[in-house]
Structure 1
Amino acid sequence: MTPDFAAFRLQFTAFLRKFEEANSAFVNGDVSLWMPLVSRSEVSSIFGGFGGREVGWSQVGPRYEWASAQFAPSGAAVQFEYLDQHVSADSAYTVAIERCTVRYVERPGEHRHELRVTMVFRVEDGDWKMVHRHADPLAAPPTPQLLG
C-alpha cells in the first residue's frame, strides 16, 4: 500500500465513522448530521428504503429530510455489517447491511429496521460526499419450494 493510498483510506474511514453517526441520528428523526455528508450535485441520487427514486440535489435533499422525519427519537443505533468496500483517490463504494430497532412517527411500538444498502461516494472540494444511496428492506430469501 503506497503512503498516498493509505492516507486516502484513512480519510475515507474517518468519513465513514461520521456517516455511521449521522445514520444513527437519521433513524432518530435528526437529519442535521446527514445532510452535510451528501453531494449537492445534480447527479446525486437516492433509491431509498421507503421506495421511489430521486435524482439531483433539488429532489434528493427534500427526500432525505422527509425520510428522516418518518422516524421518532428512540435512541436507535444502527449496526453496520460491511460486506464489501472499495476506496480510490477520489471515489469509493460500500455494500452493507444496516440493522437497528426504530420507532416510526405514525406507527406505535418498536420496529426492526434492516436494509440492504449500496452507496457510492466521491471527493468534492476535498471532502468525501455520498453521491448515491440504494437501500431496500432486507427480506428472507425464498425457500427452494417457492422457487420451483
Structure 2
Amino acid sequence: MPAPTEAFLADVLPRQTAAERAIHNGDAGPRSELWSHADPVSLFGAWLPLRTGWADVGAAFKRVAAQFSDSRDYRFEVVAAGASGDLAYTIGFEHNTVSVNGKPTTYTLRVTHVYRREDGEWKIVHRHGDRPPDEPPPDAELAS
C-alpha cells in the first residue's frame, strides 16, 4: 500500500471506528465531527433515501442515532483504500451487533466512503451503504 494511503488510514480509521461505535450507542456527535460541514456532502444510507447538503445529512445522523443502542460489536473491514492529494476513499464491510429500536440484531453493510482533506484534516464527504446480496433483510427499519 502506498505511503499516503497508509498515513490516511492510520489517521482516519481509529476516529471513524470510534464515531461509528458512538452512533450505534445513540450519540451522533462524533460522526458529525468526522464529516465535512461544507457542501457538497452526501449520504446514500442503507435504509434511507439520498441525503445531500450538511443540514440534511446532519439531521439524518441524529435520526439514525435515536434508533440505535447497546452496540456490542462494531468492526470496519477495509477491503480497498486509496489517498492522493486531498481526496481519499475506503471500501469495505461494516459488521455490527446492536439494538435497533430496542431489538437486538446483527448485520453487515457494504460501505464506500469518500474523504476530502480540509484545513489539514480528513473529513468524510460521501457515504454509501447497502446490504450485501447474501445478507437477509433486517426485521427493523435501520438507517445508515
TM-score, length basis structure 1? 0.82
Give per-residue Cα distances to partners, 1:10-69, cap 9 Å, x unaligned: 244222211011111111111121111101122100001222110111111101111111
Structure 2: runs of 5 or more not aligned: 136-144
Q: Which residue of 2 aligns with 1:145?
A: none
User: What SS does structure 2 have at the residue aligned with 1:23?
Assistant: helix
Conserved in 2, the CA contact under 8 Å of 1:27 and 1:68?
A: yes
User: What SS does structure 1 have at the residue aligned with 2:88?
Assistant: strand
Number of residue-to-residue matches in the alignment: 135
Between the aligned partners of 1:80 and 1:8, the Cα distance in structure 2 is 16
Mapping of 1:1-148 within 5 angstroms?
A: 6=3, 9-72=6-69, 74-105=70-101, 107-108=102-103, 110-140=104-134
RMSD: 1.9
How far 1:8 moved relative to its partner? 6.6
Larger radius of gyration: 1
Structure 1: which 4+ aligned runs deviate by more than 2 Å? 5-9
Give per-residue Cα distances to partners, 1:107-147, cap 9 Å, x unaligned: 53x10121110000010111100000001122318xxxxxx
User: What SS does structure 1 have at the residue aligned with 2:10?
Assistant: helix
Conserved in 2, the CA contact under 8 Å of 1:42 and 1:58?
A: no
Structure 1: runs of 5 or more not aligned: 142-148
Give per-residue Cα distances to partners, 1:53-98, cap 9 Å, x unaligned: 10111111101111111102x1423112111111112111010100
TM-score, length basis structure 2? 0.84
Among all aligned residue pairs of Structure 1 and Structure 2, give the percentage whose two residues are the same amino acid.
34
